[in-house]
């Protein structure tokens, strides 16, 4: 089976965030990820990792203000300075937490906006971020979000992201392949994984629809995990689902 990691933004929601590290360790995880470390001082997060013998494998760049409708700011022409400040802040956290890679969420195109202009902005910003990350010895990923959950998301499909990565041409960039978002777009995760394998650096999962634990939707996650193994994927596979009951009660379907 794959190497499973826990997304602490989703799992163990009945506990305060800083308490979830110990819960993840007790449940058998050796690695964690989370989207938004920025409300916490880097030293506190680093201490939580050390105290529980955990590796931090992924975080996101700052994504803006969700209350304002932000799902990333990398494509927004009016927020270039904010994006660059976020790159610097992300590198600070990555170094403190010894996290080897960060994920970028592109952002949303509003009704009537020029999507080509937004894409040009995204390419420019990602090129800047990739260069800064290269100097810091870090990897930069990009994840598509399905446009059913996030209407107007600029790059909702994995092929959209890969085309963008090709256009940028940075060797420290890759695709974050999310089985949930892929399924929500109506694509075949196994076939797409095979097609895009050279670009894939990280995998996340949840069942669909509903984004619950395995067995709550129609995605054949057990078969997909076996498919990743059969194709020789050795990277992390992160549980990024919304538990429908206590997290510990949802783990038996994939943690052995």
- Please tell me the predicted confidence (pLDDT) of residue 1: 82
Kindly list the structural domains of the chain, giving each domain's residue range(s) and its CATH number in brackets, ordered by start.
57-253 (3.20.20.150)
Give the mean model confidence (pLDDT) for residues 114-137: 98
Task: Quote the CA–CA distance of 183 and 250 in Å, as a whole number.
Answer: 20
- pTM (global) more than 0.85: yes
Decide the pairing of beta strands 31-34 and 139-142.
Answer: unpaired
What percent of the chain is modeled with pLDDT above 90?
96
Find the length of the chain.
256
**Which CB contacts under 8 angstroms, 24+ apart, belong to 68-71?**
69/108, 70/107, 70/108, 71/105, 71/107, 71/108, 71/145, 71/150, 71/153
Q: What percent of the chain has pLDDT over 70?
A: 100
Q: DSSP string covering 118-183, please? A: HHHHHHHHHHHHHHHHHHHT-EEEE----TTTSTTBS--SHHHHHHHHHHH--TTEEEEEEHHHHH
In the predicted model, what is the mean pLDDT of the chain?
97
pLDDT at 115: 97
Q: What is the pLDDT of residue 133?
A: 98
Is 256 a residue whose pLDDT tops 80? no
Q: Which of 252, 204, 243, 254 is nearest to 20 (CA)?
A: 243
- CA distances, 255 to each of 50, 56, 91, 252 (Å): 23, 19, 31, 5
The Cα–Cα gap between 241 and 220 comes to 15
pLDDT at residue 160 in the model: 95
The catalytic site residues sit at 143, 240
Dihedral sign (CA 195, 201, 207, 210)? negative
Question: For residues 238 and 202, is the Cβ–Cβ distance under 8 A?
Answer: yes
The confidence score (pLDDT) of residue 149 equals: 97
**Helix pair 189-196, 158-168: axis angle to 10 deg:** 10
pLDDT at 68: 86
- Phi then psi dihedrals of residue 202, to 5 deg: -160, 150
Least confident of 16-25, 31-40, 59-68: 59-68
Query: pLDDT digit string (tens) for 136-190?
Result: 999 999 999 999 999 999 999 999 999 999 999 999 999 999 999 999 999 999 9
Separation CA 144–CA 104 (nearest Å): 9
Residue 253 pLDDT more than 90?
A: no
């Amino acid at each position: 089976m794959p190497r499973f990691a826990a997304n602490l933004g989703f799992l163990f929601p009945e506990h305060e965030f800083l308490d979830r590290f110990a819960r993840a360790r007790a449940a058998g995880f050796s690695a964690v990820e989370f989207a938004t470390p920025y409300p916490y001082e880097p030293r506190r997060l680093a201490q939580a990792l050390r105290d529980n013998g955990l590796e931090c494998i992924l975080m996101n760049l700052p994504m803006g203000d969700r209350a304002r409708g932000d799902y990333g700011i990398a494509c927004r022409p009016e927020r270039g300075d904010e994006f660059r400040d976020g790159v610097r802040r992300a590198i600070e956290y990555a170094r403190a937490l010894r996290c080897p890679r960060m994920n970028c969420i592109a952002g949303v195109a509003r009704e009537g906006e020029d999507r080509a202009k937004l894409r040009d902005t995204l390419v420019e910003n990602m090129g800047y971020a990739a260069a800064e990350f290269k100097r810091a010895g870090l990897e930069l990923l990009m994840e598509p979000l399905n446009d059913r959950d996030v209407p107007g998301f600029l790059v909702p499909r994995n092929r959209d992201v890969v085309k963008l990565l090709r256009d940028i041409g940075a060797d420290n960039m890759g695709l974050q392949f999310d089985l949930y978002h892929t399924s929500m777009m109506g694509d075949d995760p196994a076939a797409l994984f095979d097609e895009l394998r050279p670009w894939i650096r990280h995998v996340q999962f949840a069942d669909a629809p509903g984004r619950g634990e395995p067995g709550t939707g129609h995605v054949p996650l057990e078969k997909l995990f076996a498919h990743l193994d059969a194709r020789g994927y050795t990277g992390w596979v992160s549980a990024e689902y919304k538990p429908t009951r206590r997290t510990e009660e949802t783990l038996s379907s994939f943690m052995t």
